[in-house]
Amino acid sequence: MSGTDTVVQHVRVVVVGSGFGGLGAAVRLRQEGVTDFLVLERAGSVGGTWRDNSYPGCACDVPSHLYSFSFAPNPDWPRTFSGQPEIRAYLERIADRFQLRPHLRFDHEVQGARWDAAASRWELSTSQGVYTADVMVAACGPLSDPSVPDLPGLADFPGKVFHSARWDHDYDLTGKRVAVVGTGASAIQIVPMIQPKVERLVLLQRTPPWIMPRMDRDITSAERRLYRRVPAAQRALRAALWSIRESQVGAFVKRPGMLKAAQALAKRNIDKHIKDPALRARLTPDYSFGCKRVLLSNTYYPALAQPNVDLVASGLKEVRGSTVVAADGTEHEVDAIIFGTGFHVTDMPIGSRITGAAGRTLGEEWKDGMAALRGSTVSGFPNLLFVIGPNTGLGNSSMVLMIESQLNYLADYLRRLDASGAAALDATPEAQRRWNAEVQRRMARTVWNNGGCRSWYLDGNGNNTVLWPGTTAHFRRETRSVDLAEYDLVQTPATAPVTV
Ligand SMILES: Cc1cc2nc3c(=O)[nH]c(=O)nc-3n(C[C@H](O)[C@H](O)[C@H](O)COP(=O)(O)OP(=O)(O)OC[C@H]3O[C@@H](n4cnc5c(N)ncnc54)[C@H](O)[C@@H]3O)c2cc1C
């Protein structure tokens, strides 16, 4: 902020982002009686992930009755795994129902945030001016900044290029030759949707995923009526969905050997749909089930078996004119390239924009790997709380459960901050170190670290700074309340006495 910038508004709490995390934080703040807060959102509407990912076939892969807020059950989910339009509409309704609209500021991109030690507050430069806040909640999303590989020749490609999270709905794929790069969660939803309409689909696969059948179906009107009339029935369903996923965690975290049976099922899924032995071999992973995110689909393999699909078992190396060239030398001329190459996860862009008490950015602080205390606070960054911070991701259950745990922590943080009389709380380096040492100790036995794959859960040093190595119940317990022994109390420096 330059000396001439005026502050648009000062608030008690500023929330950055309006996806599940930011909206959840806003609801929780209101429930806690905090009304002096703003939600700054760079886009023009709420929804985060579910606003940005509008590609054909986009849907959740955790059942909707679990992938939604516990405090706002939706008896009208249309399918067991609802699609992006329904999830986005649900989040819009959350903004209305919980009276969040007056707090929302759209088209406000946070370009920088600096801890002002003299005033004990965060100073945020946004695309619409400067805001200040006592407490900042970063709910910028773990999967919100698309990652597109920097490939030779890509800039000169004469056709259409876009990322799955920035789908160009004005571009008609009908009759086109299309390269899809990547075989992650988004790509496997896209491929079956576009395969029937394109002339040729070239799928560039670096590593095949393990894919299980998707138990997706319409939720009948009778079921919906039941959930509307008997909310306890919906709660019971949610509890059952939750328990099943909780019971699976041990296999991923402590006893990967137990995943062998699931791997055999996933192998049978390939064999059932793919009759060509060579294609089958290319689609069969050479690493353990669960090491990368397990995907769900009934339509992906059948689509790949169609004659207009070429599966290139190699990553994209370069683009030469309108030809995509794979690392194995295979060449295909295409009209469009769609990147299903994921997001900046372990190098989250907001990191380089947040500057802490010592004048260092979070990105600098995390150059050897992301780390926080209880996935929420970072030493040297007073009164900054993450929603979905380091090591809070899940491999097999609903992220909304983790978000709600972090909202409990946020609520208790504000209560204790008020009660302490301090201007800010700052996680001690020792508490943060202890927490992360324990997380990494538990991580050492997981299939994510030992399954023989290289996934987006791992950072450049091979450390898993993304996932939580435990049950959601365990994380709930760990974030129920703030332990003040883990924090230094920061007092506002006394203002110098004025001599007359
Ligand atoms: C295609 C897809 C499917 C998924 N399916 C599931 C699923 O089935 N189950 C599951 O548990 N999880 C799923 N996820 C993970 C999903 O990201 C989380 O469940 C959840 O939606 C994250 O919410 P969030 O609010 O933390 O982040 P987001 O939804 O990403 O929201 C972050 C918001 O912050 C805004 N923002 C970012 N930076 C700035 C800035 N500098 N200034 C202002 N605003 C900013 C963004 O515009 C965005 O609106 C999926 C993710 C993707 C991409």
- pLDDT at residue 495 above 60? no
Q: How confident is the model at residue 299 (pLDDT cuts 50, 70, 90)?
A: very high
Between the CA of 214 and the centroid of ligand 1 the distance, in Å, is: 22
* 64 ligand 1 Cβ < 6 A: no
221-233 per-position pLDDT tens digit: 999 999 999 999 9
Pocket of ligand 1, candidates 399, 403, 456: which has the most ligand atoms within 8 Å of its Cβ, to mutate? 399
Q: Where are the alpha helices (DSSP H) in 360-428?
A: 362-365, 399-420
- pLDDT at residue 146 above 50? yes
Distance of CA 125 to the CA centre of its chain: 24
448-464 per-position pLDDT tens digit: 999 999 999 999 999 99
Residue located nearest, by CA, to atom 19 of ligand 1: 399
Q: Mutual orientation of helices 399-420 and 20-31 as an angle, nearest 10°?
A: 40
Distance CA 279, CA 368 (A): 39
Q: How confident is the model at residue 494 (pLDDT cuts 50, 70, 90)?
A: low
Q: What is the pLDDT of residue 492?
A: 81
In the chain, % of residues over pLDDT 90: 96
Residue range 154-168: average pLDDT?
Answer: 98
* 296 ligand 1 Cβ < 6 A: no
- pLDDT at residue 184 above 90? yes
Measuring CA to CA, which residue among 142, 137, 146 is closest to residue 110?
Answer: 137
- pLDDT at residue 432 above 70? yes
232-257 per-position pLDDT tens digit: 999 999 999 999 999 999 999 999 99
- The edge-to-edge listing of strands for the beta sheet with 331-333 is 316-320, 323-326, 331-333
* 18 ligand 1 Cβ < 6 A: yes
Residue located nearest, by CA, to atom 4 of ligand 1: 60
Residue located nearest, by CA, to atom 3 of ligand 1: 60
- This prediction's pTM: 0.97
33-77 per-position pLDDT tens digit: 999 999 999 999 999 999 999 999 999 999 999 999 999 999 999
Helix (H) or strand (E) holding 56: none
43-53 per-position pLDDT tens digit: 999 999 999 99
Q: How confident is the model at residue 4 (pLDDT cuts 50, 70, 90)?
A: low
| 8 Å CB contact between 139 and 25 | yes
- pLDDT at residue 446 above 70? yes
Residue range 355-359: average pLDDT?
Answer: 97
Distance CA 44, CA 106 (A): 5
* 186 ligand 1 Cβ < 6 A: yes
Residue located nearest, by CA, to atom 7 of ligand 1: 60
- pLDDT at residue 3 above 90? no
Between the CA of 81 and the centroid of ligand 1 the distance, in Å, is: 17
Q: What are the structure tokens assigned to 113, written together?
A: 């945030």
- pLDDT at residue 275 above 90? yes
Between the CA of 252 and the centroid of ligand 1 the distance, in Å, is: 24
Side-chain half-sphere CA neighbours of 126 within 13 A: 28
Q: What is the radius of gyration, based on Cα positions, of the chain?
A: 24
* 139 ligand 1 Cβ < 6 A: yes
Find the angle CA(444)-CA(449)-CA(452) to the nearest 5 degrees. Answer: 140
195-218 per-position pLDDT tens digit: 999 999 999 999 999 999 999 999
Nearest ligand 1 atom to the CA of 50 is: 29
- pLDDT at residue 181 above 80? yes
Nearest ligand 1 atom to the CA of 17 is: 34
Residue range 313-322: average pLDDT?
Answer: 97
Where are any strands of DSSP class E within 207-358?
A: 211-212, 295-296, 309-312, 316-320, 323-326, 331-333, 336-339, 354-355
Residue located nearest, by CA, to atom 8 of ligand 1: 60
Q: How confident is the model at residue 500 (pLDDT cuts 50, 70, 90)?
A: very low
Q: What is the pLDDT of residue 493?
A: 77
